[in-house]
Amino acid sequence: MTGAGSPSLPLHRGLPPGALPLRRGLPLVALCFVAMIVAVGAAPFIGSTPIRLAHVFSRSMPFADNVDAQIFFIARLPRALAAALVGGTLAAAGVIFQGLLRNPLATPYTLGVSAGASLGAMVVMTFGAAWSVGGVASASLAGAGLAVLVVYWLARARHSGLSTTVLLLAGVTLNAFFSALILFVQYLSDFAQTYRAIRWLMGDLDVASFAPILAALPLVLAAFVVFAWLARPLNLISLGADAAASRGVDVERAQRLAFFSASLATGAAVSVGGPIGFVGIIVPHLVRRLVGSDHRLVLPASTFFGAAFLIACDAVARTILAPLELPVGIITALIGGPFFLWLLIRRR
Amino acid sequence: MPLSAARLSFGYPPAALRPRDASPLAVNDVSLAIDHGALVGILGPNGSGKTTLLKLLAGILTPRAGTVTLDGRDVSTMPTRARARRIAVVPQETHLAFDYSVLEIALMGRYPHLGPFEVEGPRDLAAAETGLEATGTGRLASRMFQNLSGGEKQRVIIASALAQLDDGEASRVLFLDEPTASLDLKYQLEVAALVRRLHDEQHVTIVLSTHDLRFAASVCTEVVLLSAGRVLAHGMPRDVLTPAAIAELYEIDVSAAPLVIT
Q: Give the mutation candidate from B18, B95, B98 for the A interface (greatest A CB count, under 10 A).
A: B98
Nearest CB to A102: which of B84, B87, B97?
B97
**Contacts of residue B104 in chain A, CB cutoff 8 Å?**
21, 235, 292-294
Intra-chain end-to-end CA distance of chain A, in Å: 43
Query: Higher pLDDT residue, B12 or B95?
Result: B95
Q: Where are the alpha helices (DSSP H) in chain B?
A: 50-57, 80-86, 102-108, 122-134, 150-165, 185-201, 213-219, 237-240, 243-250
What is the signed CA dihedral for A162, A164, A168, A170, rounded to 10 degrees?
-20
B28 phi/psi in degrees, rounded to 5? -125, 105
Whether A229 and B16 lie within 8 Å, measured CB to CB: no
Residue type, A3: G
Nearest CB to A228: which of B117, B130, B162?
B117
* A164 close to B (CB below 8 A): no
What DSSP string describes A115-145? Answer: HHHHHHHHHHHHHGGG--SSHHHHHHHHHHH
Segment B69-95 mean pLDDT: 91
Whether A236 and B55 lie within 8 Å, measured CB to CB: no
| Whether the predicted pLDDT of B44 surpasses 50 | yes
Which tens digit of pLDDT belongs to each residue from A273-330? 999 989 999 999 999 999 999 999 999 999 999 999 999 999 999 999 878 889 999 9
Nearest CB to A9: which of B91, B133, B162?
B133
Give Cα B85 distance to the centre of its chain.
15
Closest residue in chain B to residue A284, using alpha carbons only: B98
* A94 close to B (CB below 8 A): no
pLDDT for the residue B17: 53
CA distance A320 to chain B (A): 36
Distance CA A113, CA A147 (A): 6
Whether A102 and B123 lie within 8 Å, measured CB to CB: no
CA distance B50 to chain A (A): 16
Closest residue in chain B to residue A11, using alpha carbons only: B133
Give which of B172, B163, B165, B164 is closest to B133, Cα–Cα: B163
Confidence of residue B36 (pLDDT cuts 50, 70, 90): confident
pLDDT for the residue A5: 38
CA distance B256 to chain A (A): 39
Whether A242 and B91 lie within 8 Å, measured CB to CB: yes
CA distance A59 to chain B (A): 46
| Whether the predicted pLDDT of B49 surpasses 80 | yes
Residue type, A237: I
Contact B245, B232 (CB under 8 A): yes
Closest residue in chain B to residue A297, using alpha carbons only: B119
Residue contacts between A and B (CB atoms, under 8 Å): 129
CA distance B172 to chain A (A): 10
Sheet holding B87-90, edge to edge: B87-90, B173-177, B205-210, B39-43, B222-227, B230-235
User: Going by C-beta distance under 8 Å and a sequence separation of 6 or more, which residues neighbour residue B25?
Assistant: B9, B10, B11, B64, B229
Intra-chain end-to-end CA distance of chain B, in Å: 32
Q: What are the residue ranges in chain A where pLDDT is below 50?
A: 1-13
| Whether the predicted pLDDT of B170 surpasses 70 | no
What is the signed CA dihedral for A323, A324, A327, A328, rounded to 10 degrees?
-40
Confidence of residue B168 (pLDDT cuts 50, 70, 90): low
Whether A246 and B84 lie within 8 Å, measured CB to CB: yes
**Contacts of residue B202 in chain A, CB cutoff 8 Å?**
1, 6
* A254 close to B (CB below 8 A): no
| Whether the predicted pLDDT of B262 surpasses 50 | no
Mean pLDDT score across all residues of chain B: 87
In this predicted complex, what is the ipTM? 0.88
* A76 close to B (CB below 8 A): no
* A247 close to B (CB below 8 A): yes
Please state the pTM of the whole predicted model. 0.90
Segment B121-142 mean pLDDT: 92
pLDDT for the residue A160: 59
User: Going by C-beta distance under 8 Å and a sequence separation of 6 or more, which residues neighbour residue A283?
Assistant: A87, A90, A91, A94, A302, A305, A306, A309
- Domains (ranges, CATH) in chain A? 20-44+66-347 (1.10.3470.10)
pLDDT for the residue A134: 63
Whether B60 and A245 lie within 8 Å, measured CB to CB: yes
Which tens digit of pLDDT belongs to each residue from B180-227? 877 778 888 888 888 988 888 877 899 999 888 888 888 899 999 998
